[in-house]
Structure 1
Amino acid sequence: MMNKIEEFNVDEFLDKVTETKRIFRQSLEKYGKEPQCRQTMEECAELIQAINKFLRYPNDKHYANLIEEIADVEIMLYQLKVMFNIDDDQVFAFKVEKAKREQERLKKL
Structure 2
Amino acid sequence: MIDWNRVRELRDEIGGADFDEVVDLFLAEVDNAIGGLQPEDTDAFRDQMHFLKGSALNLGFAALASLCADAECRPDTDPGRVAAQVATVFAESRSLFFADLANRLAA
TM-score (norm 2): 0.40
Which has the larger Rg? Answer: 1
TM-score (norm 1): 0.39
Q: Which has the higher contact order (CA 8 A, sep 6+)?
A: 2
